[in-house]
Chains A and B, each alone.
Chain A
Amino acid sequence: SQQGEEDPQALSIQEGENATMNCSYKTSINNLQWYRQNSGRGLVHLILIRSNEREKHSGRLRVTLDTSKKSSSLLITASRAADTASYFCATDAGGSTLGRLYFGRGTQLTVWP
């Protein structure tokens, strides 16, 4: 399967703490993307990291990619209650399927005030 698999399935932390979510996948990728989904809403794109990149930052987000281990991690620093949501990684294998995303089951993050 091309799907990413997130770990842990659920994460509960206090405001101000850091949250780390991991994603593993099975096939070669062109890029890997992280999305956030608030309850009952659509997905919001957070960050895209290409296969030739190892780390990327965007505000309080830090994403790493290790293609040798077929894994990625998303770090949210200084978390806020508003970060409570489900986080999904999605892989794009590229080639003839470039542009198609395969999502994992997601990590449910709860940030307590």
Chain B
Amino acid sequence: EAGVAQSPRYKIIEKRQSVAFWCNPISGHATLYWYQQILGQGPKLLIQFQNNGVVDDSQLPKDRFSAERLKGVDSTLKIQPAKLEDSAVYLCASSAYRGLTSTDTQYFGPGTRLTVL
């Protein structure tokens, strides 16, 4: 079974520039998550999709971050414009969880390491 794919693996940009990350979840997984992991901290949930609908985006800085999941499969996360404090690893995860009573394991991709100069 192929894992969660993310690209690019690394990105270096200057502040005020824009950047986009791509995620391809495990085939058949209904739920997709984007996390931000700042160095030395645990992952922080930014947004959760179920199929192509947003379930929770309460921690997404919507003035500069946006995300979409077209056709309930791939997803992109965009930052525009980037700030220095956005330097972090952006992790994508997927799970088979469909919003029923029992949760399911999240499978993580390798992440995209963003450096904002």
Given contacts A99-B99, A101-B106, A105-B40, contact A43 B91 (CB under 8 A): yes
User: In the complex, what residues of A have CB within 8 A of residue B31's CB?
Assistant: 99
Q: How many A-B residue pairs have CB under 8 A?
A: 58
Q: Which residue of B lies closest to A108 (CB)?
A: B40
User: In the complex, what residues of A have CB within 8 A of residue B41's CB?
Assistant: 105-106
* CB of B69, distance to nearest CB on chain A (Å): 15
Contact B103 A30 (CB under 8 A): yes
Q: How large is the interface on A (under 10, 10 to 19, 20 to 34, 35 or more residues)?
A: 20 to 34
Q: Does chain A have a CB within 8 A of B25?
A: no
| B: number of interface residues (CB 8 Å) | 27
Q: Which residue of B lies closest to A86 (CB)?
A: B42
| Known contacts A94-B103, A105-B41; 14 further A-B pairs (Cβ under 8 A) | A3-B42, A42-B110, A43-B93, A43-B108, A45-B106, A88-B42, A88-B43, A98-B101, A99-B31, A99-B103, A100-B56, A101-B45, A103-B44, A105-B42
